[in-house]
Structure 1
Amino acid sequence: MSSTRFIFYVLGILLLAFGVALTIQSRLGTSPFDALLVGLSKTVGLTVGSWEIIIAFILIFCNSFLKRERPEFLGLLTSFITGISIDMWLFILHNLITPEIWFNKLVCFGIGIIFIGLGTAIYLHTHFAPIPIDHLTLIIQELTNKSIQFSRTVIYLFFLLTAIILNGPIGIGTIITLCFGGTILNYFMKINYSHKKNRDNVL
């Protein structure tokens, strides 16, 4: 991996993790997947970041089954970095950002979901070791020949049901993510693709 790709890879993950931490701090509800992680953390123990890594390990085998290929364990590296980054941001923001007014919570959540989409799109365009859940998104898109928005929504619906069972932080933010999370990711993916194409044309 070139130094430029590595920088964008790390930058994307840091932005993604920052967005996840903001949505958790908003207390309006997180994405269905993050709600599952928080629910597991509260119910079973361990940190949110630790469950990011554990669930990623399980999803690697699910992705392997769907693709009929060997498990891509390199995705654990990205999940490991993401898990540590989420815990780091939660530690930093714990007392720094604690919105109480409903409007402030909405702003905090809105910024968070945008950072999640932006960070995910940036690191995915490096084409290096996607987080298993993001890899699953791409696999479903390929298998169904639908948009990223569609595949992301399908995955979110599954994790929403699981998060409800585990008493994860489900709220209006979860519904917003379910409705618009895929759209935001799709938007930033197209922007990044357009910029990459323009750079390639210049070169």
Structure 2
Amino acid sequence: MREPGLGRRLPQLLAGLVLYGFSMAMMVRAGLGLDPWDVLHQGVARRTGLSFGTVVILVGAAVLLAWIPLRQRVGVGTLCNVVVIGVAADAGLAVLPPATGWAARIVLLVLGVVLNALAGALYVGAHLGPGPRDGLWVAIAARSGWSVRAVRTVIEVSVLAIGFVLGGSVGVGTVLYALAIGPLVQLFLPLVSARRPAGSRD
């Protein structure tokens, strides 16, 4: 079978990033708690008056700068991730009204988490470079000798705590995301993963 090239993988990457940003907006509008990084993004947005998506972009760019001393390899997917997700999140917030009533909020939250997992599988499966946050804990783990799980846990607990102090939303959605996102991505990834071209190091 012929390996898929950039013509297949780049559209998949961009679709995944757009859907990822939109899923973030869905969880924000559900108002039942966000994943750790979005708790931070929302907290900073509330303190600064910047839009949620703008904060996503700025935090992504700041995290990407931390890659420099870690000598982590940047891919086209990494650079697209920094910008596209934030723009898509703001677009989603512009068209989605806040959910009213518990039933609507729960449905919006669950759909947001499932869409987030599918979107994450799409952009990871494109094999065009990790997002800035994903690459950060991979690089730190590689340099420190710690496991990726340990590094990721420390980073996510830290950003969650900072975001909560700043006023980000922590709730049942935060717990649901933590429990469901891994298994869901694992479920979707084999269905959408593009096989890497020979010699690729993505």
| Alignment TM-score > 0.5, same fold | yes
1:33-86 per-residue CA deviation (whole Å, 9 max, x = no partner) reads: 111111111111211111111111221133343xx3167385343211111111
Shift of 1:127: 1.9
Q: Distance in 1 between matches of 2:195 and 2:165?
A: 41
Q: Match for 1:86 among 80, 85, 89? A: 89
Query: Is residue 126 from structure 1 mapped to residue 129 from structure 2 by the alignment?
Result: no
1:1-22 per-residue CA deviation (whole Å, 9 max, x = no partner) reads: 6221111011111111111111
* Structure 1 range deviating more: 51-60 or 178-187: 178-187
SS in 1 for 2:66: helix
Q: Match for 1:13 among 11, 17, 35? A: 17
What's the C-alpha RMSD, in Å, of the aligned pairs?
2.7
Taking a change above 3 Å as real, the CA distance of residues 183 and 155 of structure 1, as seen in their structure-2 partners, is farther
1:138-193 per-residue CA deviation (whole Å, 9 max, x = no partner) reads: 4467654556xx76554432221111111101111112222333333333334444
* Structure 1 range deviating more: 158-167 or 131-140: 131-140
Tell me the equivalent position of 2:32.
28
Shift of 1:87: 0.5
Tell me the equivalent position of 2:60.
56
SS in 2 for 1:134: helix
Q: Distance in 2 between matches of 1:109 and 1:163?
A: 19
SS in 2 for 1:90: helix
Number of residue pairs the alignment of both structures matches: 190
- Stretches of structure 2 that go unaligned for 5 or more consecutive residues are none
Shift of 1:137: 4.7
The answer (yes or no) to whether the contact 1:41–1:51 under 8 Å persists in 2 is yes
SS in 1 for 2:170: coil
Tell me the equivalent position of 2:116.
116
The answer (yes or no) to whether the contact 2:72–2:139 under 8 Å persists in 1 is no
Q: Distance in 2 between matches of 1:35 and 1:169?
A: 6
Tell me the equivalent position of 1:165.
165
TM-score, normalisation: structure 1: 0.80
Tell me the equivalent position of 1:189.
189
TM-score, normalisation: structure 2: 0.80
- Stretches of structure 1 that go unaligned for 5 or more consecutive residues are none
**What are the within-5 Å matches in structure 2 for residues 146-161 of structure 1?**
153-161=153-161
SS in 2 for 1:18: helix
Taking a change above 3 Å as real, the CA distance of residues 70 and 139 of structure 1, as seen in their structure-2 partners, is closer
Q: Distance in 2 between matches of 1:12 and 1:122?
A: 5
The answer (yes or no) to whether the contact 1:12–1:123 under 8 Å persists in 2 is yes
Q: Partner amino acid for 2:93?
A: L
Q: Between the two proteins, what is the percent identity of the paired residues?
A: 23
